[in-house]
Amino acid sequence: MKLSELRQSTASEILDLFGADESKISLAEELVKKGLPSKKSEEYRYADIESALSLELEFLKQSMDDIEPCDKLIITDGVVTHAPESVSVRYTSAIDRDMKHFDPLYYLGHIASEFVLALEPRGDESLKIVHRLTKIKTLIAYRVALFIAPNTQVNIYESFDDCSADGSLVLCGYDAFVDRDATLKLIKNQTLDSQNYRMIASHRFKIEKSATIDLATFDFGSASSLQTMKVELGERAHLEASHLLYASGSAKRGTVSKILHIGEHSTSNQQAKSILADKARGIFDALIKVEHSAKYTKAHQGSKAILLEMGPYMASKPQLEIYIDELEASHGSTTGQLDSKQLFYLRSRGISEVEAKKMLIQAFANELIDKVAGRSIQEQLHISFDKAFYGEARMECIDTCDGCEDALVGDTEEINRLFGFSQ
Amino acid sequence: MSEKRNISRMMDIRELKVKIGDKTILKGLTLELEKGKVHAIMGPNGSGKSTLSKAIVGHYDTEVLDGEIIYRGENIVDKEPEERALDGIFLSFQHPVEVAGVNNAYFLRSAVNAKRRHEGKDELNAAVFLREMKKYVEELGMQPDMISRSLNEGFSGGEKKRNEILQMQMLSPDMIILDEIDSGLDIDALRAVSEGINSMKNGDRSFLVITHYSRILDYIKPDYIHVLKDGKIVHTGGPELVAQLEEEGYESLGEA
């Protein structure tokens, strides 16, 4: 069926269609109230939602298989197949869903998911989550709930590997609850090409008192997709969010976010960088709302986009909605082309125009990639960007260089760091 | 057009007319630069000194209306900036730009290897390049971390100028243009930069030193002084001309 056919359905009919039980009736009612998104919807007006909802899709019947121990947590078509022993994984339907989320597909994702994957790291943890999507022309819906215990730090690196879900629509996202004094560092690395699946990832992040989320998303490729996120910040909570987008072809891709400052002294910093080629459209539609209760908030937001030619378009809409005076806030947006002075400087040293442009684009991307903690993750991100941008990873193995062994002694790490080589 | 070129000359600029925007800055400038010599260009503000350096390297601000820039026997006015650089022309910028996100070593290795490819040589591998770069960095009295920092980003004025000299030394050009290399330098930096420049003298390489002040010429001894006024060279003389300019100013000099 096509999801667009749900436009005329009642809440009960929607539940019946997805085989969902009555406990989800309020979600279905909220979906009906908001209506399926269309190009006229505020949050989806820049995205390519109509064609996503018009895909002819099979429904997926998910089953809870045994979980094999592994150093990574692997989610295959919405089901956990592998997990480290240090993480508690359970399937549940009893989580605190957000009944005031702005994104209708947040509700649809919950309705269409048979269960919620609840992940609870047992303490400080560095976790790799691998999403595998294998079903073609299928609606793959799954929700992940993350519970970060008080005063712990969890680092998650999320990637999308071995995906062959061509023609599918993936509705997924996190409901993340970061408890007092806890820190969640979440890095997403996703390359999506036009012949692949489409994804609408609808997130809800709740950051309790003195807790922090450090979110970095890296989206590359030529397919249309969207991430929407609602963030609630409690007292002295902090959000650090960065989004790097490289979109090509006819992709319409980006971020729609609402960051709500609810607690006093809460802080947020959201920075988006977009590199757009061909006829791609980048989306950064981001609202920061500072409630009456959020005195002494600090909120900063910025978007920078580079258009590589005349065809692409950046829909950049940073917004502040403020109800108090006692705060510090800023937002800004720039869209342009590569800096001609920088380009000339590189060319004046003998670097070709093509290479100089690549170098500057890489530099623009590096500013966010190199902010990520962890050399190996940085390397993965560099490789993903290179593959998306150049068509291949630009790796060299310095260990095979002849005649330089003496120079290599003690220098290998430095050389890798300086020149971005992978071994 | 067949024409006999003077092989003792590195560069021959003939009747060069250049505009920037709507304004013609160089108005028929003629200048001969000999191989192995240091030529200094002095002149009042707005005379066209920086425009000349920009025109030689093919800066996008400049439009050559007429005239020729003959470099080693070939008119280069239609060449791309990178082609001129690969052929051995190097401009040390008055205000080097900052390029965040491109580390100094990565950039310079790319430039050095582009030149080596152009010359039919093997590229320098990373280790050999780094060893070479560290040697020059030390000689120039640069902080070791400048190797890994973003190109010119957050550099002081002196660090930027030292970085220009570092690039010059590693690229080993034949025709070196120094645009106000002395501006903003304290005495230690000026000495280090000058020593770097002087170390490049080899009897073949030519220098064009563009400056407001005579101070730099105490360190880099010129063979010729050219006075540029209103878009033309109005006087050419030997090193003794510096003292005359210091005493009498540019107004005292008429047509060459």
Over residues A11-21, mean pLDDT: 93
Q: Identify all chain A residues contacting B96, using CB atoms and an 8 Å cutoff.
A: 345
> Is there a single domain that holds both residue A311 and residue A176?
yes
Q: Among residues A284, A317, A337, which one ends one of the domains? A: A337
> Is there a single domain that holds both residue A305 and residue A240?
yes
Lowest average pLDDT, out of A150-154, A194-198, B6-10, B58-62, goes to B6-10
Residue of chain A with shortest Cα separation from B82:
A350
Over residues A310-315, mean pLDDT: 95
CA distances to A84, A112, A129, A176, B9 from A119, rounded to whole Å, are 11, 19, 11, 10, 75
> Is there a single domain that holds both residue A119 and residue A153?
yes
pLDDT for residue B3: 45
> Is there a single domain that holds both residue A192 and residue A249?
yes
A380 CB near a chain B CB, below 8 Å?
no
pLDDT higher than 90, residue A364: yes
Instruction: Give percent of chain A above pLDDT 90.
Output: 78
- Beta carbons of B109 and A365 less than 8 Å apart: no
Q: Among residues A271, A303, A337, which one ends one of the domains? A: A337
> Is there a single domain that holds both residue A362 and residue A294?
no
> Is there a single domain that holds both residue A247 and residue A322?
yes
> Is there a single domain that holds both residue A310 and residue A352?
no
- Total domains in chain A come to 2
- Beta carbons of B107 and A349 less than 8 Å apart: yes
Write the pLDDT tens digit of every residue in B134-151: 999 999 889 998 888 999
ipTM: 0.94
> Is there a single domain that holds both residue A369 and residue A293?
no
Provide the domain limits for residue A201: 3-337
Q: Among residues A320, A337, A354, which one ends one of the domains? A: A337
> Is there a single domain that holds both residue A103 and residue A155?
yes
Residue of chain A with shortest Cα separation from B93:
A345
Write the pLDDT tens digit of every residue in A388-399: 998 866 544 333
Q: Can you tell me the distance from the alpha carbon of B212 to that of A137, in angstroms, rounded to the nearest whole number?
A: 71
Which of B61, B97, B135, B155 should be substituted to probe chain A, the one whose Cβ sees the most A Cβ atoms within 10 Å? B97
pLDDT for residue A15: 95
pTM of the model: 0.84
pLDDT higher than 50, residue B126: yes
Write the pLDDT tens digit of every residue in A242-285: 999 999 999 999 999 999 999 999 999 999 999 999 999 999 99
- Measure CA of the first residue to CA of the last residue in chain A; give whole Å: 47
Q: Identify all chain A residues contacting B167, using CB atoms and an 8 Å cutoff.
A: 349
pLDDT higher than 60, residue B6: no
CA-based nearest distance A344→chain B, Å: 7
> Is there a single domain that holds both residue A160 and residue A180?
yes
> Is there a single domain that holds both residue A209 and residue A188?
yes
Write the pLDDT tens digit of every residue in B182-234: 887 888 888 888 888 898 998 899 999 998 888 888 888 899 999 999 999 99
> Is there a single domain that holds both residue A276 and residue A398?
no
